[in-house]
Amino acid sequence: LGTLFGTLIAIPVGIISAYKQYSVFDNVGTFVTMLGFSLPVYFTGLLAIVVFSVKLDWFPSFYDTTNDVQLTSWSSIWIQIKQLILPVTILTLFQASSLARFTRASALDNLNQEYVRTARSKGLSESKVINVHVMRNSLIPVVTLLALTIPGIIGGAILTETVFRINGIGQLLITPICTLDVPLVHTHTILS
């Protein structure tokens, strides 16, 4: 979910930031993406727990595994969703930060190309120039980067699952590290 939401947020933010270069939107977007990219996932997760769970009491501070099987009512489904909002948001911020910066740089490079000037001189509308010519060519390196960020997402998921106490792939790595189960740690590291 973090990869999906991060991609859906990052591409429009990167394209709009490139199109409106040095505007308020671009400056705020650049600041937020640099902040999200530079802060570690575990620090952002702990900060989110302190602010949104302890101070504001909006979300639970950890994932409660007793509700995993009891998806029989809408209230238990809402509890599951509420427990996943903070971890997914943290992973989305991490994913969107790197992709938005890369999308902006790629779109800025494409905005200055000859084919964009030719499309504008033909009389195409600005939205058609951006959506068809700039976006299509800007997404080629972004898709490549998206494939290369999957190991980083898995590493971020390990830390996020540990911070929010979610039983998942992160717990599968942390438990053998604590019990010194070297073969399981090697297998997990090779597969991820």
pLDDT at 13 over 70: yes
pTM of this structure? 0.75
Highest-confidence segment of 16-25, 85-94, 131-140, 143-152: 16-25
pLDDT at 28 over 90: yes
Q: Which of 14-28, 73-87, 88-102 has the lowest mean pLDDT?
A: 73-87
Radius of gyration of the chain (CA): 20
pLDDT at 41 over 70: yes
Longest pairwise C-alpha distance within the chain = 67
Percent of the chain whose pLDDT exceeds 70? 90
pLDDT at 87 over 70: yes
Q: 181 — alpha (psi -120 to 50), left (phi > 0) or beta? A: beta
Write out the DSSP string of 68-92.
SS-TTSHHHHHHHHHHHHHHHHHHH
pLDDT at residue 92 in the model = 87
- Please report where in the chains the tokens 């590290």 appear, as a residue: 177
Is the CB of residue 99 less than 8 Å from the CB of residue 142? yes
How far apart are the C-alpha atoms of 82 and 191, rounded to whole Å? 30
pLDDT at 24 over 90: yes
Tokens read off for 147: 């494939």
Mean pLDDT value across residues 60-74: 59
Cβ neighbours of 95 (radius 10 Å): 27
pLDDT at residue 191 in the model = 67
